[in-house]
Amino acid sequence: MVLDWVRGKLRARRGSRIHKRPAVETPLGFKFIGPEVMQFGGFEEEETKLIQSFLSQADLFVNVGANYGYYVCLAQSMGLPTIAVEPVPDNVALLRRNLELNGYEPNVTVFANACGGETGEAEIFGVGTGASLVQGWARNPKSLSFKVDIRRIDDLIPPAALTGRSFFLIDVEGFELEVLKGAKGIFDAAQKPVFLIESGLSDHRADGELNKDFLGVFDIFAAQGYQVFKVEDLKTPVERAIIEQSLEQGQDLLKGLNFLMVHETFDLAPFAK
């Protein structure tokens, strides 16, 4: 108990230091306060390039788990209407500061809540990029937690606002399946948006076991006519069988951390170079 309390204080102090960093003009063309790797262009470099390519043709960007606003600012630097969802109070505060720094506030709708399958309240653990609604995720201490509101993503975004060029980035640290359970209206929309989700069979759960929920994530998309791709290979769709085989063997045969989901009607060829 004492050790958890100490770890909580240390992580909170580390988070507060990030807030005190000076704003930096990033190589991507916007000012940013946050971890050094985000400020100087080393953050998720391949994912960032892929996201840029989709944003260049998108008409709306929705970032669930927006954190400090790195990708929100990227979308804004490209002139794209944006919806940002972020539940951690410290993260929301810095997200808003980053928007203000760049004059982006008028074009971004910020929802300071988490998303899930049902409206309610839950406890989120940690601060910064690894905060999660999954207890024990990334060794987040129990003592560093916050009560946050949960809302269904369907209640935040009207399906009529979406098109086949709308782009969702979901990075919710292990809570992906619950977020998708609250997105029935979005999946039922006439136009099918594109999704990029940080998820997979290997993640940061306390028990160290494979993420069984990833099969549920796959099934939700497959049932709606989507194909699932590892971001490293946009030419070969992921098959359900490899996920099943991985779970049966207790070994991650898929080895992916970020997955792109596109409807079968979407032309992925221009992006799969």
Give Cα separations from 204 to 47, 208, 250 (angstroms).
Answer: 19, 7, 15
β-strand pairing of 82-85 with 145-151: unpaired
pLDDT per residue, tens digit, the chain (273 aa), is 766 655 655 566 777 888 889 999 999 999 999 999 999 999 999 999 999 999 999 999 999 999 999 999 999 999 999 999 999 999 999 999 999 999 999 999 999 999 999 999 999 988 888 888 888 877 777 778 889 999 999 999 999 899 999 999 999 988 999 999 999 999 999 999 999 999 999 987 877 889 999 999 999 999 999 999 999 999 999 999 999 999 999 999 999 999 999 999 999 999 987
Q: What's the domain range around 116?
A: 2-271
For the chain, the domain total comes to 1
User: What is the reported pLDDT for 12?
Assistant: 62
Assign residue 75 the CATH number of its domain.
3.40.50.150
Q: What is the pLDDT of residue 2?
A: 60
Q: What pLDDT does 33 receive? A: 97
Q: How far is CA 112 from CA 37, 79, 180, in A?
A: 25, 22, 18
What is residue 223's predicted lDDT score, i.e. its pLDDT?
A: 97
Q: Are 66 and 94 in contact (CB under 8 A)?
A: no
Structure confidence at residue 86 (pLDDT) = 97
